[in-house]
């Protein structure tokens, strides 16, 4: 059974009397452990698709099934619970909370989930160590470089051992070397059994994926 | 358990947000909350203080803790000496003063008598007392603004309300050019006698301002009234509680009844007036305080709302990584409550250690009392609670407005 399944997803935005159709009936199935790369030009709808698949946004019509459950029926809190327990996110820019240290940013999702904050802290330190930031634990995002911030974001995304890691152009604001480092970390997560859905328009990084889904004008290109 | 965990996370987030916020913004919000707290307490405290001040003055300088007066339809307390002896047997009574009161005319003769000149004469209330005992009960000498406390039978004290020299005096019922050591003639019916003005009394209530005090033996000489008849017996107990007063009042009721009199506590003797005044002032204080709390709530609302809007993207991030809306909302409410708590604590410190001692030493000079700041721990607790509830509402509404938005819309600032 697929871990994530989208059925005829449509998404449109209304601006005054103008309706813009961003996704025009997307259907796809993603198996557990797969590394999917979603590519396409700007405005092709790849980020919108990622947001809908990750329950951050709702489709105008169509269904998203996660582990066999129809997520359309989920409440906001159930969406949040699902994201907390099963999903990890890496955004284009780091999306770290500025008033939390690197360690606290990584700890935060697990603090919501678990009672024992000591073990949460220990696990966050281990993850930050894995991404090479054991010396930056108590630094605030403003004290980190772009690459370091994104590595903290990766650590935060995988700290809860998610079923699916969603990454929305995570290397867009990084130089080539730092971008490779981030992709390597994502690949390593995939090797550890985490399903990865990576949105990117960099051809170089799509090569690491098991499957490439290319979008054009809101549709999957055959 | 889940609630506790959520609360812990909310607390963590709010603590980090406060720590990460601009210091001056934090100080400004705390300052607003402090001023609001003081506004809530100060206005109502001063209004209460006016009433309490006037009420306390009457207790301390007129009625004492308990006062005996004639019952309705009786002009005087009868069998005063028997009653006095009964009261003497009560060890609870520390001190007492017996007053005899009647209407007289007082005249100060003008130096040049001419037929068409209005005589310098007024009607006044003459009060016969034992000056020493009266002073021990009511501290009458405290109100001397001129002259000395009498030491002879032919001396009197005159309330400033009868003298044109004092602004409180009414023109048509006041004596001109009366000062200490002047001789005035007091007439009761057909009897008259000259007395020397030993001192002039000025207080903020009529029971002193509109009375002329004379030695009780002279009162009998002048009026010829039996010394068995009196009009007021004021007495003090040793630091009495309300319960002790009521207990003694109950014991004295049968004794006073046989003297055609009744005994009232100081509070009862002041009647409904102060209670009504207090209620009115409390209402006024509540209205002014309500306006203050509304302004503060709106200010806090705006500050929290702007803060939430500025942090909308971060709220989106938190929602994206799975933090429930409730946790985020509570974190804003806790921030708001933190500001209210710190503001209340600062306000309380200023109130307790600066304002209350200051107004105790420097009461505001109101026409009918010395305005002190009358605040009780219960009153302060209620105001802190009001401020807390306002802070919760002011924190919750803006947080709710922002948090209810779709996570991705918040994240992308749409």
pLDDT in tens, B253-280: 888 888 888 999 998 888 877 778 878 8
Asked whether the CA dihedral B402, B406, B410, B414 is positive or negative, the reply is negative
User: Which residues on chain B place their C-beta less than 8 Å from a C-beta of chain A?
Assistant: 1, 5-6, 8-9, 12, 16-17, 19-21, 314, 317-327, 406-408, 411
SS3 A75: coil
In sequence order, which residues have a C-beta less than 8 Å from that of residue B125 and are 6 or more positions away? Answer: B101, B102, B103, B104, B210, B211, B212
Task: Give pLDDT, residue B378.
Answer: 85
CA–CA min distance B242, chain A (Å): 54
Contacting residues of B for A57, CB less than 8 Å apart: 406-408
SS (H, E, C) chain B: CHHHHHHHHHHHHHHHHHHHCCHHHHHHHHHHHHHHHHHHHHHHHHHHHHHHHHHHHHHHHHHECEEEEECCCCCCECCHHHHHHHHHCCCCEEEEEEEEEEEEEEECCCCCCCCCCCCCEEEEEEEEECHHHHHHHHCHHHHEEEECCCCCCCEEEEEHHHECCCCCCCHHHCECCCCCCCEEEEEECCEEEEEEEEEEECCCCHHHHCCEEEEHHHHHHHHCCCCCCECEEEEEECCCCHHHHHHHHHHHHHHHHCCCEEEEEHHHHCCCHHHHHHHHHHHHHHHHHHHHHHHHHHHHHHHHHHHHHHCHHHHHHHHHCCCCHHHHHHHHHHHHHHHHHHHHHHHHHHHHHHHHHHHHHCCEEECCEEECCCCCHHHHHHHHHHHHHHHHHHHHHHHHHHHCCCHHHHHHCC
| Chain mean position to CA A212 | 16
User: Which residues on chain A place their C-beta less than 8 Å from a C-beta of chain B?
Assistant: 51, 56-58, 76-77, 80-85, 87, 89, 91, 95-100, 104, 108-109, 111-113, 115, 117, 156
Note the pLDDT tens digit of each residue in B222-245. 999 888 899 999 999 988 888 888
Note the pLDDT tens digit of each residue in B283-330. 887 788 788 778 877 877 887 778 778 888 888 899 998 898 899 999
pLDDT > 80? residue B47: yes
Q: Do A83 and B322 touch (CB under 8 A)?
A: yes
pLDDT > 90? residue B345: yes
pLDDT > 60? residue B113: no
| Chain mean position to CA A162 | 10
The H-or-E segment that residue A176 falls in is helix A176-191
Q: Do B321 and A76 touch (CB under 8 A)?
A: no
pLDDT > 60? residue A110: yes
Cα(B311)–Cα(B325) distance, integer angstroms: 14
Q: Do B324 and A112 touch (CB under 8 A)?
A: yes
What percent of chain B has a predicted confidence (pLDDT) above 70? Answer: 96
Note the pLDDT tens digit of each residue in A17-57. 888 889 999 999 999 999 999 998 888 888 899 999 999 99
Contacting residues of B for A84, CB less than 8 Å apart: 321-323
Residue B115 binned pLDDT confidence (cut-offs 50, 70, 90): low
Task: Give pLDDT, residue B334.
Answer: 92
Helix-helix angle A117-130:A102-113, to 10 degrees? 130
Residue A97 binned pLDDT confidence (cut-offs 50, 70, 90): very high
Residue B101 binned pLDDT confidence (cut-offs 50, 70, 90): very high
Note the pLDDT tens digit of each residue in A113-163. 888 889 999 999 999 998 888 898 999 999 999 889 999 999 999 998 899
Task: Give pLDDT, residue B111.
Answer: 61
Cα(A38)–Cα(A213) distance, integer angstroms: 5
Residue B172 binned pLDDT confidence (cut-offs 50, 70, 90): low
Cα(B402)–Cα(B413) distance, integer angstroms: 11
CA–CA min distance B314, chain A (Å): 6
How many CB atoms sit inside 10 A of residue B6's CB? 17
Provide ipTM, 2 decimals.
Answer: 0.89
SS3 A161: coil
Q: Do A80 and B324 touch (CB under 8 A)?
A: yes
Q: Do B321 and A111 touch (CB under 8 A)?
A: no
Cα–Cα distances in angstroms (integers) from residue B201 to residues B5, B150, B169, B236, B362, in the given order: 69, 12, 12, 22, 21
In sequence order, which residues have a C-beta less than 8 Å from that of residue A150 and are 6 or more positions away? Answer: A90, A94, A170, A171, A173, A174, A178, A182
How many CB atoms sit inside 10 A of residue B406's CB? 16
Note the pLDDT tens digit of each residue in B365-377. 887 777 788 888 8
In sequence order, which residues have a C-beta less than 8 Å from that of residue A196 and are 6 or more positions away? Answer: A34, A35, A36, A164, A165, A167, A186, A187, A189, A190, A209
Nearest to B56 by CA among B274, B277, B244: B274
| Chain mean position to CA A159 | 13
Residue B114 binned pLDDT confidence (cut-offs 50, 70, 90): low
Contacting residues of A for B319, CB less than 8 Å apart: 80
Q: Would you say A27 and A21 are in contact if contact means Cβ atoms under 8 Å apart?
A: no
Note the pLDDT tens digit of each residue in A159-211. 988 999 999 988 887 788 888 888 888 999 999 999 999 998 767 778 888 99
Q: Would you say A112 and B324 are in contact if contact means Cβ atoms under 8 Å apart?
A: yes
Pairing relationship of beta strands B144-147 and B191-201 according to DSSP bridges: antiparallel
Q: Which of B113-117, B143-147, B204-208, B385-389 has the highest mean pLDDT?
A: B143-147
Cα(B90)–Cα(B52) distance, integer angstroms: 29
Which residues are registered as beta bridge partners of A168?
A199
When the pLDDT of each residue in chain B is averaged and rounded to a whole number, the result is 86
**Which of A55, A107, A112 is most worth mutating to test chain B (most B CB atoms within 10 A of its CB)?**
A112
Q: Do A81 and B408 touch (CB under 8 A)?
A: no
Nearest to B322 among A84, A99, A115 (CB): A84
Q: Do B318 and A97 touch (CB under 8 A)?
A: yes
Which stretch of A149-153, B10-14, B35-39, B228-232 has the lowest confidence by average pLDDT?
B35-39
**pLDDT mean over B85-96:** 89
| Chain mean position to CA B40 | 17
Which stretch of B31-40, B130-139, B326-335 has the lowest confidence by average pLDDT?
B31-40
């Amino acid at each position: 059974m697929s871990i994530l399944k989208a059925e005829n997803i449509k998404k449109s935005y209304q601006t005054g009397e103008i309706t813009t159709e961003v996704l025009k009936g997307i259907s796809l199935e993603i198996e557990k452990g797969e590394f999917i790369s979603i590519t396409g030009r700007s405005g092709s709808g790849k980020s919108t698709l990622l947001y809908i698949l990750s329950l951050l946004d709702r489709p105008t019509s169509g269904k998203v099934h996660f582990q066999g459950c129809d997520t359309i029926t989920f409440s906001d809190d159930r969406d949040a619970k699902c994201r907390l327990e099963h999903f990890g996110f890496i955004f284009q820019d780091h999306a770290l909370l500025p008033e939390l240290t690197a360690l606290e940013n990584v700890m935060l999702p697990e603090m919501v989930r678990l009672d024992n904050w000591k073990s949460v802290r220990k696990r966050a330190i281990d993850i930050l160590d894995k991404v090479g930031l054991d010396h930056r634990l108590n630094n605030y995002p403003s004290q980190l470089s772009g690459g370091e911030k994104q590595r903290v974001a990766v650590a935060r995304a995988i700290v809860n051992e998610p079923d699916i890691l969603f990454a929305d152009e995570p290397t867009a604001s990084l130089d080539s070397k730092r971008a490779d480092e981030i992709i390597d970390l994502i690949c390593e997560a995939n090797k550890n059994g985490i399903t990865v859905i990576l949105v990117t328009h960099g051809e170089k990084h799509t090569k690491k994926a098991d499957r490439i889904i290319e979008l054009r004008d809101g549709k999957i290109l055959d | 358990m889940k609630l506790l965990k959520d609360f812990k996370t909310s607390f963590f987030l709010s603590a980090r947000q406060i720590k990460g916020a601009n210091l001056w913004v934090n100080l400004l919000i705390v300052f607003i909350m402090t001023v609001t707290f003081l506004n809530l307490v100060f206005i109502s405290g001063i209004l209460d203080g006016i009433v309490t001040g006037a009420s306390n003055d009457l207790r301390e300088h007129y009625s004492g803790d308990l006062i005996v007066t004639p019952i309705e339809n009786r002009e005087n307390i009868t069998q005063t000496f028997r009653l006095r002896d009964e009261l003497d047997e009560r060890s609870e009574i520390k001190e007492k003063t017996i007053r005899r009161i009647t209407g007289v005319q007082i005249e100060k003769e003008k130096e040049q008598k001419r037929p068409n000149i209005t005589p310098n004469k007024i009607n006044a209330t003459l009060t016969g007392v034992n000056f020493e005992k009266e002073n021990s009960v009511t501290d009458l000498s405290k109100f001397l603004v001129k002259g000395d406390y009498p030491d002879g039978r032919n001396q009197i004290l005159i309330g400033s309300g009868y003298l044109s020299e004092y602004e409180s005096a009414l023109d048509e019922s006041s004596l001109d050019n009366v000062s200490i050591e002047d001789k005035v003639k007091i007439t009761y019916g057909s009897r008259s006698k000259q007395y020397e003005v030993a001192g002039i009394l000025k207080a903020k209530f009529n029971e002193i301002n509109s009375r002329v005090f004379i030695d009780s033996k002279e009162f009998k000489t002048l009026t010829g009234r039996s010394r068995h008849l009196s009009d007021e017996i004021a007495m003090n107990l040793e630091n009495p509680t309300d319960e002790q007063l009521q207990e003694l009042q109950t014991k004295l009721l049968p004794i006073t009844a046989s003297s055609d009199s009744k005994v009232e506590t100081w509070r009862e003797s002041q009647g409904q007036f102060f209670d009504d005044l207090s209620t009115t002032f409390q209402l006024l204080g509540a209205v002014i305080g309500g306006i203050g709390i509304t302004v503060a709530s709106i200010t806090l609302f705006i500050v929290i709302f702007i803060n939430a809007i500025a942090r909308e993207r971060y709220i989106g991030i938190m929602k994206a990584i799975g933090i429930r809306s409730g946790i985020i909302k509570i974190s804003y409410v806790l921030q708001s409550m933190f500001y209210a708590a710190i503001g209340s604590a600062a306000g309380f410190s200023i109130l307790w250690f600066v304002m209350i001692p200051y107004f105790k030493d420097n009461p505001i000079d109101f026409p009918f009392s010395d305005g002190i700041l009358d605040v009780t721990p219960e009153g302060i607790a209620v105001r802190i609670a009001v401020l807390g509830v306002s802070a919760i509402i002011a924190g919750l509404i803006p947080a709710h407005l922002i948090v209810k938005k779709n996570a991705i819309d918040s994240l992308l600032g749409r």
